[in-house]
């Protein structure tokens, strides 16, 4: 296996400076949520996807559109409804009478940032139309593979409150999302500021900070972040702790461990470091792991959340010290 070339200090500083400008631009529209914005950019640089689960009206779609406008990317919005067909998402092959041949007409999934609005309102068959493109970055229609533009980010939203007429996302699809985030309500001061600028703060008003080609280069830089050997083992032990927890029926998969390390690399670079620390893995464990856990029926009946179980699992794993020796577990 070829070892990636280490990042130089100017490269790390340049990445962090540009990421800060991107975050500042998005924060001009998505007020009071700097950590949510940082995690969304982390997913973009780690080539992951974002699932936003929250009540309507807190800025889920605004966040996705702001990221698209900031990186000068093409974006498409798909409103998921029960009558939406898979071909409405991926595209369709149509016979052209003039050329006497079949032509592929791309669907809205062919964009840099795809907003899948209320994804749990579509049927499982339509939801599955996103499975291939989220993992492979290609769409297969009538046996022909079509690559989507790069970089490619799916931002899906769902309302956890109004569940009538919805279809729960299957575990295979949840596993495709790098992070699951909740925007949450703003505090009073931020909400007043939102009201003052409600007519002027719009993603359309944002000026692009960079372009998709530069974002592609930032994605490649994130793959070169250094991960010390003890941290590989630490990430695996975090996942193993979820699998062995008595309140967990299905723990984090190996794909989830890969997602955690990829996200940690991008997260560290945004912070201006060319290497990851145990704190990066601990910070990202909840947004990356929580939606991948299946709790036991007993835990669900007692109202235990995946986040609570995850915090217990993380606390049970010793944190590796710089010397490679694990620190004692805190009780």
CATH code for the domain of 51: 3.40.50.300
Query: Treating both helix axes as pointing N-terminal to C-terminal, what angle do 9-27 and 60-70 enclose, rounded to 10 degrees?
Result: 130
* Residue-number span of the structural domain to which 121 is assigned: 31-186
At 3 the pLDDT is: 67
Catalogue the long-range contacts made by 247-251 (C-beta closer than 8 Å, 24 or more residues apart): 247/295, 247/296, 247/298, 247/299, 247/304, 247/309, 248/293, 248/294, 248/295, 248/296, 248/299, 248/309, 248/313, 249/294, 249/295, 249/296, 249/297, 250/171, 250/293, 250/294, 251/292, 251/293
In a domain, 99, yes or no: yes
Tokens of 111: 């964009």
Name the domain count of the chain. 1
Q: How far is CA 320 from CA 105, 238, 250, 314, 328, in A?
A: 52, 12, 26, 13, 9
Local confidence band at 330 (pLDDT 50, 70, 90 cut-offs): very low
In a domain, 168, yes or no: yes
Average pLDDT, the chain: 86
- What's the chain's length in residues? 331
Local confidence band at 200 (pLDDT 50, 70, 90 cut-offs): low
Task: Give the residues across from 93 on adjacent strands.
Answer: 104
Is the peptide bond prior to 151 cis by the omega test (within 30 degrees of 0)? yes
Tally of helices (H runs) and strands (E runs) in the chain: 14, 11
pLDDT per position as a tens digit, 104-148: 889 899 999 898 888 888 888 888 888 888 888 999 888 889 999
Q: Nearest-CA neighbor of 22 among 5, 3, 1, 38?
A: 38
Q: How much is the pTM?
A: 0.87
pLDDT per position as a tens digit, 9-19: 999 999 999 99
In a domain, 156, yes or no: yes
Pick the most confident of 95-104, 126-135, 187-196, 211-220. Answer: 211-220
Region of residue 142 (left: phi > 0; alpha: psi -120 to 50; beta: else): left
In a domain, 75, yes or no: yes
At 323 the pLDDT is: 58
Q: Beta-carbon neighbour count of residue 187 at 10 Å? A: 10
Least-confidence region, from 44-48, 98-102, 239-243, 287-291: 98-102
In a domain, 263, yes or no: no
Tokens of 177: 């999302």
Is residue 59 over pLDDT 80? no
In a domain, 45, yes or no: yes
Angle, CA of 113, 114 and 116, to the nearest 5°: 150
In a domain, 218, yes or no: no
In a domain, 117, yes or no: yes
Is residue 163 over pLDDT 80? no
């Amino acid at each position: 296996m070829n070892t990636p070339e280490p990042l130089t200090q100017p490269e790390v500083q340049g990445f962090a400076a540009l990421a800060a400008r991107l975050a500042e631009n998005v924060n001009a529209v998505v007020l009071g949520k700097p950590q949510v914005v940082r995690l969304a950019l982390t997913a973009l640089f780690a080539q992951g996807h974002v699932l936003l689960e929250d009540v309507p009206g807190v800025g889920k779609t605004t966040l996705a559109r702001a990221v698209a406008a900031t990186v000068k990317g093409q974006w498409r919005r798909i409103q998921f409804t029960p009558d939406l067909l898979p071909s409405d998402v991926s595209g369709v092959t149509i016979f052209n009478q003039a050329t006497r041949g079949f032509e592929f007409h791309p669907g809205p999934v062919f964009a840099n940032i795809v907003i899948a609005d209320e994804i749990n309102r579509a049927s499982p068959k339509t939801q599955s139309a996103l499975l291939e493109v989220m993992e492979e970055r290609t769409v297969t229609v009538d046996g022909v593979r079509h690559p989507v533009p790069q970089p490619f980010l799916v931002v899906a939203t769902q309302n956890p409150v109004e569940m009538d007429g919805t279809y729960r996302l299957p575990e295979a699809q949840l596993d495709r999302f790098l992070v699951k985030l909740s925007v949450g309500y703003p505090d009073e001061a931020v909400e007043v500021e939102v009201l003052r600028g409600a007519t002027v703060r719009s993603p359309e008003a944002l000026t692009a900070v960079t372009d998709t080609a530069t974002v592609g280069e930032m994605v490649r830089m994130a793959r070169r972040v250094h991960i010390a050997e003890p941290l590989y083992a630490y990430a695996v032990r975090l996942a193993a702790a979820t699998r062995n927890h008595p309140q967990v029926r299905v723990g984090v998969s190996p794909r989830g461990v890969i997602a955690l390390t990829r996200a940690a690399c991008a997260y560290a670079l945004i912070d201006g470091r060319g290497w990851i620390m145990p704190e990066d893995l601990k910070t990202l464990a909840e947004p990356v792991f929580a939606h991948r856990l299946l709790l036991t029926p007993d835990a669900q009946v007692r109202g235990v959340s995946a986040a609570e179980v995850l915090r217990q699992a993380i606390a049970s794993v010793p944190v590796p010290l710089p010397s490679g020796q694990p620190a004692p577990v805190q009780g």
